[in-house]
Amino acid sequence: MAAVAAVGALGLTAVAAGSARAAAQTDSFRITQDVTGDVFTCAAPLGNLTVTQGSITMSQNMTIDGQGIFHVTGTIVPHNVTLVDASGGTYTVSGASWFGGKAVDENNPLVFTETDHFVLHSSTGGVAGKVQMVSHSSPGSTFTFDLGSCEQPQG
């Protein structure tokens, strides 16, 4: 799920670079995508959880302000996502991913932050695993805090 957001943000950086110092511009999009077959990779004893049905909605807003600074923000939200483990146990997902950043011009790197928080619920409603990650990148500094027991799909 995050990979889609990252690819979109990188592509938009190119748009911003070509539009620096132009009049203010805005654009946005919202798409829904089937995620059947995606895999959450979780630590033992849970193991991998494969999506059997459901979708995500990706929303992204971009602005190039009057000074030529490119701004982007977006979210990824799951809808009716169900998963299965290797033993046939079923799970559901709640949560969201948020990302945002800016680039001053084509010669400066993107300042970017992403937060991911997804809860994987067992069929009894308990918490089976979590994706809990915050990452930030700015000139001269990058860090990631990953406190979850699972990783979101990377495709």
Give the domain ranges of the chain. Answer: 2-147
CB atoms within 10 A of CB 22: 12
pLDDT in tens, 62-92: 999 988 899 999 999 999 999 999 999 999 9
- pTM of this structure: 0.80
Looking at residue 13, its pLDDT comes to 46
Calculate mean pLDDT across residues 22-35: 90
Looking at residue 110, its pLDDT comes to 82
Looking at residue 118, its pLDDT comes to 98
Q: State the DSSP code for 76.
A: E
Rounded to whole angstroms, how far apart are CA atoms 20 and 10? 16
> Which of 37-41, 80-84, 100-104, 147-151 shows the lowest mean pLDDT across its residues?
100-104
Q: Kindly tell me if the per-residue pLDDT of 126 is higher than 90.
A: yes
